[in-house]
Amino acid sequence: MESLTHNQHRSSCLSYRAFIKQLQALTRSKKILIAYSGGLDSHALLHLASQASQANNFQVRAIHIHHGLQEVANEWIPHCQHVCDELNIPLIIQYLNLTLKKGKSLEEIARNARYAAFVESLEKDEILLTAHHQNDQAETLLLQLFRGAGVQGLAAMPSIVDFGLGQHIRPLLDFSRKSLETYAKENKLDFIEDPSNQDTVFDRNFLRNKILPELRKRWPSIDKTISRSASIQAETKQLLDEYAEQDLLSIQSDSSSSKKLNISKLQIFSMARQKLVVRYWILSNGFKPPSEKKLKHIFTDVIDAGEDTQPLVEWRGVEVRRYKDELYIMKPLQDHNNNQVIEWGDPQSSLNIKSLDYPLPALSASQYDKNIPVTVRFRQGGEKFYHPKRGIKLSLKNYLNESNVPPWLRSRIPLVYSGETLIKVVGLE
């Protein structure tokens, strides 16, 4: 059995001093939003934060998410409100209306909705604190391992990450669940027991309640050991990210869009470096990482496709396409009717079009005749327009080819008409 020295034991105990030291090492912000479920972990975190509010002038708020999945959850709200009132901490109650889609994980849906609510509630320069601890970290690494994750997944949960208008910090990752239990007992904390935590139909609960207790019998320090492995993986990930960033900069010129990748330059690298760069490129653009299978399809179905094809690989909220020698990443295209004609009643005000993800900028008074109706249409074929800088009329088709506009965007480019005269091709002047 691995034993702890006296100093190691003291450092693993949860106390206000240990908490504030960890928090100040991670952030300088004094604005805190606590994710408060009412359970032991989050109650301990809330209690620690309340002390920070009193002793170090932190501004502390709490948010409780009602998922609407259990009737008993209705009883938790007055409990959470009472605890926050006693600690003089403002509490936000956020109700969710979750819809379980066929083939989707309830755990994932609930988590995504919960974090979306956190983002919505977070104020500028405010940090979100969650009560994830050492045991949670061990569970996360094992779950990622069972899913075949690489370094990105095995790095498990970071202590700090940019989040919404601020940051998401997990200040208790170095402390065990047992240390939180001791803290709760010493401070006589009254907390909620969520019955769903015993439901082993959920992967994390199965691992927590059935597998890890058996592993701890043989390896008592397994949570700490696994957590250390996660830290090593996180360092490895950071190093790989630094290499990938350098490679990405060598591929993209300063004028390149971050959402485009030059394929010829990418293919100079070994396959391992290509995969590293592509994965980093996807993450750096704010998209969810692909599975290993999807990443493979990016190479076989998109990168290796002929330049005259329009290949596509997609996963949750992401599309990767190719046009000529460029790889593109984007959100899924919305349904769009290129036969629609939209009246622009006030061209000197911006115009929102549902199927586009950007507003049309207002026209200046010199760009149109106020006595002639202005409409927005989309490409049908055969359009010509006057190019003011060249002083000639151009074929729209030829101009789109010349401007290297990807085929999937050509029917979505707004064309502004004054009467029947095309006066503006939005975004291409």
Question: Domain ends where: 302, 330, 358?
Answer: 330
Per-residue pLDDT at 7: 36
Q: What b/e sequence results for 39-59 when a residue is b if at least 16 CB atoms lie within 10 Å of its CB, and e otherwise? A: ebbbbbbbbbbbbbbeeeebe
Half-sphere exposure of 137 (CA within 13 A, CB side): 30
On whether residue 46 sits in a domain, the answer given is yes
Half-sphere exposure of 330 (CA within 13 A, CB side): 15
Per-residue pLDDT at 277: 96
Please tell me what DSSP assigns to residue 123: P
On whether residue 336 sits in a domain, the answer given is no
Question: Domain ends where: 299, 330, 361?
Answer: 330
State whether 100 and 187 are in the same domain. yes
DSSP one-letter string for 274-306: HHHHHHHHHHHTTPPPPPHHHHHHIIIIIITS-
State whether 267 and 137 are in the same domain. no
Residue 280: CATH number of its domain: 1.20.59.20
| 275 phi and psi angles, rounded to 5 deg | -65, -40
| Contact of 237 with 156, CB cutoff 8 Å | no
**Number of domains present in the structure of the chain:** 3
**Residue 256: C-alpha distances to residues 53, 139, 216, 310, 311 (Å):** 46, 41, 52, 21, 21
DSSP one-letter string for 25-79: HH----EEEEE--SBHHHHHHHHHHHHHHHHH--EEEEEEEE-SS-TTHHHHHHH
Rg over alpha carbons for the chain, rounded to the nearest Å, is 27
| Contact of 12 with 108, CB cutoff 8 Å | no
On whether residue 1 sits in a domain, the answer given is no
State whether 53 and 112 are in the same domain. yes
Per-residue pLDDT at 3: 36
State whether 110 and 196 are in the same domain. yes
Per-residue pLDDT at 105: 78
State whether 420 and 361 are in the same domain. yes
- Distance of alpha carbon 134 from alpha carbon 418, whole angstroms: 65
* Pairing assessment for the beta strands 415-418 and 312-315 based on DSSP bridges: unpaired
State whether 409 and 282 are in the same domain. no
State whether 42 and 143 are in the same domain. yes
Closest CA to 400 of 413, 389, 417: 413
- pLDDT tens per residue, range 209-233: 999 999 999 999 999 999 999 999 9
State whether 157 and 291 are in the same domain. no
Residue-range definition of the domain harbouring residue 144: 6-223
Return the SS3 of 327: strand
- pLDDT tens per residue, range 56-102: 889 999 999 998 888 888 999 999 999 999 999 999 999 988 777 76
On whether residue 232 sits in a domain, the answer given is no
pTM for the model: 0.76
On whether residue 271 sits in a domain, the answer given is yes
On whether residue 66 sits in a domain, the answer given is yes
Give the helix/strand (H/E) hosting 151.
helix 151-154
* Pairing assessment for the beta strands 318-323 and 374-377 based on DSSP bridges: unpaired
Closest CA to 35 of 121, 97, 108: 121
On whether residue 402 sits in a domain, the answer given is yes
| Cβ-Cβ contacts under 8 Å for 24 (sequence gap 6 or more) | none
Q: Which residue stretches of the chain have pLDDT < 70?
A: 1-12, 102-103, 253-256, 429
Specify the amino acid at residue 332: P
Q: Number of helices (H) and strands (E), helices first, in the chain?
A: 16, 16
Tokens read off for 227: 């957590």
Per-residue pLDDT at 429: 63
Residue 189: CATH number of its domain: 3.40.50.620
